[in-house]
Structures are given as structure tokens and as C-alpha cells.
Amino acid sequence: MAVAVIPYDGRDPLKYLYRTIHNIRQMGIDVIVVDTTFNVYPPGVQRVKQRSPGIGGARYDGFKYALNQGYDCVINADSHIMIFGSLHDLCKTKTFASTYHHPWIETPTSITFPIKIYASVVYADEGKIYWCTLLEKPPYLPMTSEPLYAVKANALELILDKYLEYTSYGLDNVALYWAPEGEIIDTVYYYHLGVLDRGKSLKRKPKDEEANKFVTLYPRIKSKVDPVLTLKRACFQLWP
């Protein structure tokens, strides 16, 4: 039994959230929306009031609710994506699985863009934090900062509390560093929608105290990140 968890902070237009919900529900996947608003959602959507801070906290609240409801496959989604292929393919993993995405579009289309973005890794080096988008398929997936991935219940139970420790954008999925190795499923891909409607950049720099946590944490997880940093990638400095 699968469910998609969507954190919603109210910045994205509701039309994109509703379209994402419809897209997921058409696949026979249940939906949980975690928010702090009082929106009315379509039938088949369960609403969870966010109580934990940050994006990582919203995921924690939604994931914990999903586990308590007995779902065996929990899919982390986003409020402004259009998915192609079946999300059920992601749930065939034994641990967790991600998929690749294509750049921003305003109108969904099924054409194949020549550049596949497989995942993003966040890493620290000499007191600075970098965000790298992977343009080649890694041999394994140590972490993804992309918003579409599936975690099986047995793996999610092991890492759930880690979502509460790092809640900055780009650091909130650091919980997956403690998960068993994952995989990338190529039968599913997605686009982000409506970046121009937001009026601001999606990527925000972490707060100093959160970033310093990650710089301290990084030496313990460096061995998992180093292999993917040999791949073709595009990086920018996230902090300071």
C-alpha cells in the first residue's frame, strides 16, 4: 500500500498542488498533504497539520503519520511537479529509490529532454557547503535532495528521526545518509512546474547554525559522498 507525502508551505499556487494531487491519484496512490494552512483538498487526500519546523519537519510529520496508517511504501513528492511513468515502480525497491528529473517547464509535455538530472548531493569542503546536481547516473544513491523518491517502511523507520535534525533547504534529506544504499528507477521521471509564478528562487541558503551542524556532520558521511563526486556534475556554493 503506497502513499505520497507532499509538504506544502503555501508559496506555490494551489493550481499546481491540485494538478500534482490529480496526477498522483490517477495512479492509484493515496496522498497526504502536510501544511499549516486551512485549504480544502480533493477527495482521497489526507491532511496532516505540520507541527515540526522546516521542510524536514514537514516530511517527518507526514512520514510518521503514513507509518502509523500502515503504508509500506512512502513516496516523498512536491507540490509543483508533473510525473511521467508509474510511481508504483519506485515502490518495487527494497529500501529507497529515486528517479531523474528534467528542467523546469510551464506546460507539461512527454518529450524527452536531452539532459537528465539524476540526483543532487550536498557536501561540505573546507568549511563551505556545496550543492551538486548529478548529470551522470551514480553507481548507487547515497542521498537525494530531489523531491521525488520512495522509502519502504522498514528503511524509513530506521531514519525517520534524522529528518528532524537538519531542516534547511538542501539539508533536510540528509537522513538518507543513514539509510541502506538506494537505487535510481529510470522508468519514472518528472518535471517541476511554474518556477516563474513563485517570484523567488527555490534554493535558499541554510541558516548558520544549521549549516555548521552539517559541516560537523560531513566527516562522518564523506565516504558515501566521495564516489559520486567523480561523476559529471554542476555545483554551486550553498554556504556561506
For 2-239, CATH number? 3.90.550.10
Q: How many Å apart are CA 212 and CA 130, to the nearest integer?
A: 13
pLDDT of residue 74: 97
Q: Which residues contact 92 (CB under 8 A, 6 or more apart)?
A: 185
User: At 117, phi and psi to the nearest 5?
Assistant: -100, 115
The predicted model scores a pTM of 0.88
pLDDT of residue 86: 95
Q: 183 or 29, which is more confident?
A: 29
pLDDT of residue 113: 55
User: At 31, phi and psi to the nearest 5?
Assistant: -130, 135
pLDDT of residue 223: 81
What average pLDDT does the segment 17-31 reach? 95
Residue 59 CA: distances (Å) to CA of 41, 62, 219, 222, 234: 18, 5, 25, 24, 26
Per-residue model confidence as pLDDT tens digits over 96-152: 898 888 766 655 555 555 678 888 888 888 889 888 888 888 877 766 667 899 999
b/e 207-237 (16+ beta carbons within 10 angstroms → b): eeebbbbbeebbeebeebbeebbebebeeee
Q: How many Å apart are CA 29 and CA 229, to the nearest integer?
A: 34
Nearest to 168 by CA among 224, 240, 97, 116: 240
Q: What is the percentage of the chain residues whose pLDDT exceeds 90? A: 35
Do 98 and 116 form a contact (C-beta atoms < 8 A)? Answer: no
pLDDT at 47 exceeding the cut of 80:
yes
Q: Determine what percent of the chain falls in helix, strand and coil, rounding each to the nearest 5.
A: 35, 30, 35
Domain range list for the chain: 2-239
pLDDT of residue 203: 55
Radius of gyration of the chain (CA): 17
User: At 12, phi and psi to the nearest 5?
Assistant: -80, 145
pLDDT of residue 38: 78
- Chain-centre distance of CA 12, in angstroms? 16
Per DSSP, the residues of 171-191 read TGGGGGGGSPPBEEEEEEEEE
Per-residue model confidence as pLDDT tens digits over 151-210: 999 999 998 988 887 766 667 666 777 778 888 898 999 888 765 555 555 456 778 888
Q: How many Å apart are CA 119 and CA 133, to the nearest integer?
A: 6
Q: How many Å apart are CA 161 and CA 57, to the nearest integer?
A: 9
| C-alpha cell, 180 | 541502506
Three-class secondary structure of residue 143 per DSSP? coil
